[in-house]
Amino acid sequence: MGNKQTIFTQEQLDAYQDCTFFTRKEILRLFYRYRDLAPQLVPLDYSASPAVTLPYELIGSMPELKDNPFRQRIAEVFSEHGDGNMTLDDFLDMFSVLSEMAPRDLKAYYAFKIYDYNNDDYICKSDLEKTVNKLTRNELTPEEVSLVCEKVIYEADVDNDGKLSLADFQHMIVRAPDFLRYLVSLITTTEQEKTLPQRTNI
Amino acid sequence: MTKQDKSTEGNDGNDDNEEGSAVENEEAAKGTDKGRKRATPRTRRAHARGRDRHGDEEDEDGEDGARRTGHRRHRSRRRGRAAGNEASDSDMEPAKARKNQANQKSKEDDEEEEDEKGGKGGKGKNEKKGDKKPDKKGKKEKANKKKKDKKKSGSGSDSESEEEPITEEELAKLKEEVEEKKKLIATLRNKPWKMKKKLSVLKEAQLFVEKFEGALGKGKGKKFYAYKVMMTKKWMKFQRDFENFKTACIPWEMKIKEIESHFGSSVASYFIFLRWMYGINMILFGLTFGLVMVPEALMGKPYGSLPRKTVPRAEEATAMNFATLWDFSGLAQYSVLFYGYYNNQRTIGWLKFRMPLSYFLVGVGSIGYSFMVVTRTMAKNANDDGGGDDTSFNFSWKMFTSWDYLIGNPETADNKFASITTSFKEAIVEEQESRKEENIHLTRFLRVLANFLALCTLAGSGYLIFFVVRRSQQFALEGLENYGWWERNEVNTVMSLLGMFCPTLFDVISSLENYHPRIALRWQLGRIFALFLGNLYTFIIALMDEINLKLEEEKIVKYNMTIWEASLYNGTIPENSTAPPIQVDPADVPRGPCWETMVGQEFVRLVVSDMMTTYITILIGDFLRAVFVRFFNYCWCWDLEYGFPSYSEFDISGNVLGLIFNQGMIWMGSFYAPCLPAINVFRLHTSMYLQCWAVMCCNVPQERVFKASRSNNFYMAMLLFILFLSTLPAVYTIVSIPPSFDCGPFSGKTRMYEVISETLEHDFPSWFGKVFGYASNPGLILPFILLMVLSIYYLNATSKSYKEANLELKKKLQSQAEENKRRNKQKAQKSNEQEENPFETEPSPAKAKGDKQDESTPNKDGKKGQDGNGSKNTGQPQEASSSQTLQRPGPVLNGHYPPQSRGGNLPPPSIAVTRPPGPRRPGVPGYPPGNPCLPGMQPGMPRGPPMYR
C-alpha cells in the first residue's frame, strides 16, 4: 500500500470516508480484503466504479463470518438485492455497521433486520425459532425451543401483537447489559480486518 | 431588493422552520395523524417555494451585472434540479419519510458522536461546533428547506456584496443552513441506507456546502478545533486500549470461559472464586515476602549466628533429611519460613529496617486487608444484585445478544455454541422451577424432616468430636506412650471419617427437600460448613492445649537455662580465663520450646496435607475412576458410563468449602509462619490448572445445569465468617499470651503488641507519644466507639430505606408495564372484535397472502404502489410509520407498522397483521371513523402487485 493509490479517485475515497466509519487506510484495506476474495473478478481500478458483485459463497467464507451462525442473513441484509451477493459498496457498508464506531441504534436496526428472516419487518415466532436453532445448533428439543420463543415474545413484546416490531426490539436490546460488549465484539472483526490484509500486502 | 422583502423571506423561512418542527413533534407524539399532517406541510411548503421564487425574481429585477448572470445561471440550474426533485417528490415521499424517521432515531447518537467523528471525515466537518439547532428536523423538511435556502442564500450572497448591514441576519441563517448540511454529512454514516443512496446524498450536500461555505468566511478556529478533536480521539483510543489491556491481564479467562461453556456458570463460579482468592493471596504473599522474609534473609544476622538461627545439636544429623524437611522441621524450622528464626533486634541492616515492627504490622495488616477486601467485594456484589432489573429481558437478551461476533475460529465457535445452549438450558430450568406446582404440605413436611435429620447429624458429629477431643486430652495427660496407634490418631481419623461421610449424607437428605439446585447448593454448603466448623474447633482446642503445655515447658527450660549458664561459667572459667565471653556453639545452647514456631508448623503441615489430599482425591476419585469407566466399559456386564460408577460430577460445595477453610488456615497461621501465603499461592496456582484439567477431562456436567447467582455473595459471607473466626485465635494469642523468651522478633517482651509502644518511644518525638497516650485513654476511645456504632446504625437505616424505596419504584415500574400491556391487549381485542364483525368469514389465506406480499414486494412496485397511496390521505399513515422499520427506499410493507407511541391511543398493529382485512373489499365499512390506520390498510393491501421472489 503505497502513498499513491490508483484504485479510487480522491473524491471516491472522501465520499467513502463520509459514508462509513472508516479511515482512508481502512477503506483501502477493506478493498484489498474484498479483492482477495476473488482476485480474478475484482479489478484494481475502481475509479469508474465497475459493477462487480461477489457471490455469497465467497463472502461467507471470510474468516470473520465463517463461523457466524447468522452469516447468510448478514450477507443478505447488506447485499443490494437481498440475495447475499455483494458489491464493494455493500461490503463497505457491512463492515462499517459491524465496526465499533457505529452507533448502537444503527446496530440495533441492522440486528433487527438480521433476525427478521422472512423480511416482514416483524420478528415473529418462526424467526425466533430459527434464531434459537442456529444459536444452539439444534440441540434443544422442540418443546424447549418453543418455550424459549414464547418467553422472548412475552418479555419483549410491548404491544402484545405476538411478535416483535423494531420498536420492541430496540426497547429491549438497548437495555441489554451485554449490548455494549456486543458492540465491542463487533469491533474486533474489523480489527482483524485491519491486520489481515496488512499481512497479505507486505 | 428591499429590506422588507428580505425580512419577509426570513420570516417565511422561520415560519416554515417552526412549522416543520411542530409537525415533527406532533409526528413523534402521534403516529396516527401523520398522514394529515404531512399533507399540510407539503402544501405549505409549495406555497413557500412559490413565494421564494417570487422573491428571487424581484431580486433579479433590482440587480444587474455579469455577476448576476452567473448567479442566474447557477440558480436556474439549481432550480432545474429542484424542479426535478419536485417532480420526483411524490415518488421520493416514502424514502424521505423513512429518512426522516432514521434521522430522528440517530439524531441523539449523532450529537454524541459527532465530536468524535468530526475530525475523521473528509472536508468541512471541523467547524460544526456552532450552535446546533435544538429542533430536530426531519430529513424531508431539511431537503425542502435546502432547496429554498439555496435560493435564499443565493440572494443573500448577492446582497451581501452590496448591502452590508442587512446581511447579518441572513448570514446567520445561511450559516445555520451550512451547519445543518455539514451535520448531515457528518452523520451520514449513521443512516441505515444503502451506500449508493448515501453517496448521492453526500454529493448533493457537499456541493451545497462547497458553494456557500466560502461566503461565510468561516474556518478560523479550524486548526485548533481539529487539534482538539484529534486529541479527544487519541484519548478515547488510549482508554480503550487500556481497557483491553486490563482485560487481557486477567489470568485464566479463557480456561474459565471454556469450563463455563461446558459445565455451566455454577462450576465456573467456583473457578472464578478460586481466581479471586488467588489474587488476594498474591497480595498477602507480597506483603509477607517483601516486608518480612526478604529483609530478614538479606539484612538479618546470618544462619548459625544465634541459637535461634541454628539447628540444635540433637537434630543436626537428620536436619537435611527429606522426611524431616517434608515435615517442616529440621533445617526448614530454623529458617525465615517460621516465626522462631527472627531476631528481636530493633533495627537490622544499613537501612535500619525495624524488623519486629514490620513483622507485627504485616501480620495485622494482612488480616485487616483481607477484611477490607472481603467486605468491599460483598458490598459491591450486593450493589450489583440490587441494581439492574435484568430478569425482565432474560431470554430476549440471551437470544439476541449472546452471539459474539468476534469469533473467528471454529473451536471458539464450538465453545460458544455449547455455552449458549447451556445458558438456555439453565434459563429453562429456572423457568420450569418457577412454574412448578406441587403439594405444598408434603414439601413442607419433607423439608422440615430434612432439616431435622441434618441437625441430628450435625449434633451427633459435634458430640462425637467433643467426646473424642476430651478423650484425647485425657490420653495426653496420661502420656501417649501407654496407648496404641488408634488412641493417638483417634481425633484425626474421626474427623476425616466425618468429613468423608457426612456430606454424602447431607446430599441424600437434601434430595428429600426438592429445592432448586441453586438453593439446594446453599443448604448443602451451610450444612457442610457447620460440620467443618467442628473440625476447626477441635484443631484450635488442640493447639491451645499444646500452647499451654509449651508455656509450662518454657518455664522449666528457663530455670534450667540459668543452671546451665551457671554451670558453663563454673566449668569453663578456670580452664581458659583468657576469653571472657564464652564461645559456645549456638547449636549447643539449650533453648525453649518456642510455641509460636510449633503453631506455624502445625498450620503449614495442615495446609500441605490438605493440598495433598485434594490432589490425590482428584487423581483417584476423578481421573482413575474416569479411566476405569471409560476403558472397562468395553468388557463389563453392565453399562459403566450410565450405570453405577459413571463419571463423577464436579463437587462444587466441597471444593468451595475446602477453599474457604484453607483460607481460614492461612489467615490464622500466617502470623507464625510467614511462608504460609507463599505455600497457598502455590497451592491455588497448581490447583487451578489441575482442577481445570480434571474437570474438562474426567467430569461430566451436572444433570441439571443451573445458573450460579451472579454475585457469589454466599461464598463471600462464609469467607467473612471464617475470616472472623480465624482472626479471633490469632488476636487472642497476640494479645494475651506472652511470646517465647528466646525466639521470634518479640522475644524479651511481655506481650507482642509492645513493639508499637516501643517504636513510639524511640522513633517518634515525645509529644507524639503523649498525644497517642491521650488518644488511647478509655475516656476518648469509648465515645469514639459509640460514635462509630451510631453512624453504622444510621447508615444501615438509610440504606434500608433506600432499598425499600428502590423496591417500591421497581414494583411501580413493573405494574405500569403490566398495566400498559393489559391496556394494549384490551384495545387490541376491542378492535379485533370490531374488525371481526364485517369479516367473519375471512380466514387465514388472506393473512398468508398479506404476508407474502409484504415479503416480496420489490422496490419499484412498492414505489408505484405508494405513489398511488400518496394521492389519498388515507394511504399516508402506514407509509410514514412503516418507513420507520425500513431501510431501503424500495420495499413497501403494506399494513405492517410499528406502534409509534406506547400505550397511546393508537390500536396495536396486531389487528393489521394477525387479521388482515380482505384484500378485495372496496369499501371501508364498519371501521371506526377516528382510526385512520385501518382504512389506510385496506386499499394498501391489494395494491402491491403480487410479485413473489
Across chain A, which distance is largest between two alpha carbons, in Å? 60
| CA distances in angstroms from B463 to B171, B311, B456, B472, B725, listed in the order given | 94, 42, 10, 14, 20
pLDDT value at residue B818? 77
Instruction: Give yes or no for residue B366 having a pLDDT over 80.
Output: yes
| Per-residue model confidence as pLDDT tens digits over B467-525 | 888 887 777 777 666 677 777 777 777 877 887 788 888 888 888 877 777 788 888 88
**What does B558-604 look like in DSSP terms, one character per residue?**
HHHHHHHHHHHHHHHTTT-TT-SS----GGGS-----HHHHHHHHHH
Across chain B, which distance is largest between two alpha carbons, in Å? 138
Question: What CA–CA distance (Å, rounded) separates B802 from B293?
Answer: 47
pLDDT value at residue B709? 62
Which residues from chain A sit within 8 angstroms of residue B388, using beta carbons? Answer: 177
Q: Which residue has the higher pLDDT, A187 or B798?
A: B798
Once rounded to an integer, what is the mean pLDDT over residues B820-843? 66
Once rounded to an integer, what is the mean pLDDT over residues A115-140? 85
Write down the ipTM of this complex: 0.81
Instruction: Give yes or no for residue B936 having a pLDDT over 90.
Output: no
Return the percentage of chain B with pLDDT > 70, whole number: 64
pLDDT value at residue B420? 81
Q: Which residue of B has its CA nearest to A172?
A: B393
Instruction: Give yes or no for residue B288 having a pLDDT over 90.
Output: yes
Once rounded to an integer, what is the mean pLDDT over residues B458-464? 88
* Contact yes or no for B194 and A63 at CB 8 A: no
Return the percentage of chain B with pLDDT > 90, whole number: 12
Say which residues have a Cβ less than 8 Å from residue B360's Cβ, sequence separation at least 6: B745, B746, B752, B753, B755, B756
pLDDT bucket at B696, cuts 50 / 70 / 90: confident
Torsion of Cα atoms, B403 then B408 then B414 then B418, to 10°: -20
Say which residues have a Cβ less than 8 Å from residue B374's Cβ, sequence separation at least 6: B716, B719, B720, B723
pLDDT bucket at B572, cuts 50 / 70 / 90: low
* Contact yes or no for A18 and B390 at CB 8 A: no
Instruction: Give yes or no for residue B84 having a pLDDT over 80.
Output: no
Q: Does B241 touch chain A (CB under 8 A)?
A: no
Once rounded to an integer, what is the mean pLDDT over residues A161-177? 78
Instruction: Give yes or no for residue A88 having a pLDDT over 80.
Output: yes
Distance from CA of A7 to the nearest CA of B (A): 17
Instruction: Give yes or no for residue B907 having a pLDDT over 70.
Output: no
- Helices A24-37 and A179-201 cross at an angle (nearest 10°) of 70
Instruction: Give yes or no for residue B949 having a pLDDT over 90.
Output: no
Lowest mean pLDDT, pick from A162-166, B550-554, B734-738: A162-166
B897 and A161 in contact (C-beta within 8 Å)?
no
* Contact yes or no for A135 and B402 at CB 8 A: yes
Instruction: Give yes or no for residue B459 having a pLDDT over 50.
Output: yes
Domains in chain A with CATH codes: 10-98 (1.10.238.10), 104-189 (1.10.238.10)
Distance from CA of A132 to the nearest CA of B (A): 7
| Per-residue model confidence as pLDDT tens digits over B158-192 | 444 444 455 677 777 877 887 887 788 777 777 77
Start-end of H helices in B746-843: 754-763, 766-775, 778-836
Q: Does B400 touch chain A (CB under 8 A)?
A: yes
Distance from CA of B824 to the nearest CA of A (A): 6
pLDDT value at residue B32? 39
Which residues from chain B sit within 8 angstroms of residue A192, using beta carbons? Answer: 408
Burial of B697 (0-12, 13-18, 19+ CB in 10 A): exposed
| CA distances in angstroms from B70 to B60, B73, B553, B637, listed in the order given | 12, 5, 115, 102
* Contact yes or no for A178 and B401 at CB 8 A: yes
- Enter the C-alpha cell of residue A119: 423480511
pLDDT value at residue B408? 59
| Per-residue model confidence as pLDDT tens digits over B384-416 | 654 445 566 777 777 777 776 666 567 667 777
Instruction: Give yes or no for residue B195 having a pLDDT over 60.
Output: yes
Q: Which residue of B has its CA nearest to A121?
A: B885
Interface of B with A in 804-843 (CB under 8 A): 817, 820-821, 824-825, 828
The single-letter DSSP state of residue B648 is: E
pLDDT value at residue B116? 39
| Per-residue model confidence as pLDDT tens digits over B86-143 | 434 444 444 444 444 444 444 444 443 443 333 333 333 333 333 333 333 344 444 4
pLDDT value at residue B123? 38
| CA distances in angstroms from B172 to B3, B9, B148, B450, listed in the order given | 16, 14, 16, 81
Is the alpha carbon torsion for B530, B532, B536, B539 positive or negative?
A: positive
Instruction: Give yes or no for residue B78 having a pLDDT over 80.
Output: no
| Per-residue model confidence as pLDDT tens digits over B243-256 | 778 877 888 887 88
pLDDT value at residue B711? 53
In whole numbers, what is the pLDDT of chain A averaged over residues?
75
Phi, psi of A86 (to 5 degrees): -125, 140
* Contact yes or no for A173 and B902 at CB 8 A: no
pLDDT value at residue B222? 64
pLDDT value at residue B316? 83
How far separated are the first and last CA of chain A, in Å rounded?
A: 8
* Contact yes or no for A165 and B198 at CB 8 A: no
Distance from chain centroid for Cα B938: 50
| Per-residue model confidence as pLDDT tens digits over B576-613 | 545 455 667 777 787 888 888 988 988 898 889 889 88
Is the alpha carbon torsion for B732, B737, B743, B746 positive or negative?
A: positive
* Contact yes or no for B395 and A175 at CB 8 A: no
* Contact yes or no for B399 and A158 at CB 8 A: no
Which residues from chain B sit within 8 angstroms of residue A161, using beta carbons? Answer: 828, 908-910, 913-914
* Contact yes or no for B117 and A101 at CB 8 A: yes
pLDDT bucket at B550, cuts 50 / 70 / 90: confident
Nearest CB among A14, A136, A158 relative to B123 is that of A14
pLDDT bucket at B835, cuts 50 / 70 / 90: low
pLDDT value at residue B409? 63
3-state class of B846 per DSSP?
A: helix
* Contact yes or no for B194 and A89 at CB 8 A: yes
Q: Does B110 touch chain A (CB under 8 A)?
A: yes
pLDDT value at residue B249? 82
Instruction: Give yes or no for residue B616 having a pLDDT over 80.
Output: yes
Distance from CA of A155 to the nearest CA of B (A): 6
Q: Which residue of A has its CA nearest to B894?
A: A120
Return the closest-CA partner of residue B550 out of B750, B326, B285, B737: B737
